[in-house]
Amino acid sequence: MKYIDHHAHMVSRTTDDYQQLALTGCVAVTEPAFWAGWDRSCGDSVEDYFRQLTEFEPKRAAMFGVQHYTWLAMNPKESDDRALSKDVLKRIPNFLGRPTVLGIGEIGMNRITRNEIATFTEQVELALEHDQLILIHTPHLEDKLKGTRISIDVLARYRNLKPERVMIDHAEEHTIEMIRDHGFWAGLTLYPQTKISPQRAADVIEKYGPDRICVAGACDWGPSDPIAVPRFALEMRRRRHGEPLIERVVFENPVRFLSQSPKFKVTLSAAEPARIG
């Protein structure tokens, strides 16, 4: 089984995890810019992180035949800091031409402050200005419903925004309908505790169908699983779903969404993914 993990924070993971991804059939990962678990002190620190995402991680992934792509952004957890956010946003365009940068992400809100909404709005405008795909983080736990609603309200202001070029990630049962009803892609991120389990993700596919839904591990520095996507596939097989449905969710859907960037080189028809860089 081939699969793509559209949300993996590989800077936090070991090389062994790349090996696990490759051994379980992963052909490509996309890595959104995120919070390091502590606040960065300045824009230079974030810029170094962007260099890590665009220079070092693709090489590390390539050692195992996994393609590595990235998204750049001021992450939601630090986006309340308006001065840092403005500094970072000025630097992002310098990286958008790099061969593995697919778009702006993960952007969105954390605690849903007015500052976070201002930064989110500026990042949506940055993506539109540079014709980039958008990957949106929705807040955790009790903040998810409100954050998803407000994110969609902000996006709805832009008549030139094409919803099919936006994925709203970390969706759960109480947000998936509003995401898809507005024409966006929905991402299900499989977590041991704080988001959605492989079992509930399989329930979502059964209840709502597989259109415009992708699943990802979203592995990072916290409790998480770099091979959560194959665990989802295993859960689907446990329920005797056929391989075409599983492949649709774990491979074809992410290819369809990500191929809207001309830089994404995995194709539906290719027996082997093309090399990049």
Partner 1 sequence: MKAKPQNPPLTGAEVVDEYFVENRTRLLEIAAFLDRVDRIDASAGARDFRMQVFAEAIAALAGSDRLLRIQALLSDPTVEPLDRLDRKSAIGAFDRGSHAETRP
Q: Within 167-206, which residues bind partner 1 (CB under 8 A)?
A: 172-174, 200, 202, 206
The nearest distance, CB 128 to partner 1, in angstroms, is: 22
Q: Which is nearer to partner 1, 52 or 115 (CB)?
A: 115
| Single residue of 86, 91, 98, 140 touching partner 1 by CB under 8 A | 140
Q: Which is nearer to partner 1, 67 or 138 (CB)?
A: 138
x/- track of binding to partner 1 for residues 79-118 (CB under 8 A): -x-----------------------------xxxxxxxx-
Question: What torsion do the CA atoms of 24, 210, 137, 143 make, to the nearest 10 degrees?
Answer: -120
Q: Which is nearer to partner 1, 122 or 276 (CB)?
A: 122
Note whether 157 binds partner 1 by CB under 8 A: no
Residue 208 CA: distances (Å) to CA of 187, 211, 240: 13, 8, 18
| Single residue of 93, 192, 209, 223 touching partner 1 by CB under 8 A | 209
CB-based contact 212:185 (threshold 8 Å) = yes
The amino acid at residue 38 is W
x/- track of binding to partner 1 for residues 38-57 (CB under 8 A): --------------------
The nearest distance, CB 87 to partner 1, in angstroms, is: 18
Q: How far apart are the first and last CA of the chain?
A: 25
Task: Map residue 101 onto helix, strand or coil.
Answer: strand
The nearest distance, CB 120 to partner 1, in angstroms, is: 11
CB-based contact 212:168 (threshold 8 Å) = no
CA 15 to chain centre: 20
x/- track of binding to partner 1 for residues 210-249 (CB under 8 A): xx--------------------------xxxx---x--x-
Place of tokens 């989110």: 120
Task: Map residue 126 onto helix, strand or coil.
Answer: helix
- Among 228, 223, 220, 227, which Cα is nearest to 190's? 228
**Phi then psi dihedrals of residue 185, to 5 deg:** -80, 150
Residues near partner 1 (CB under 8 A) are 77, 80, 110-117, 139-146, 149-150, 172-174, 200, 202, 206-211, 238-241, 245, 248
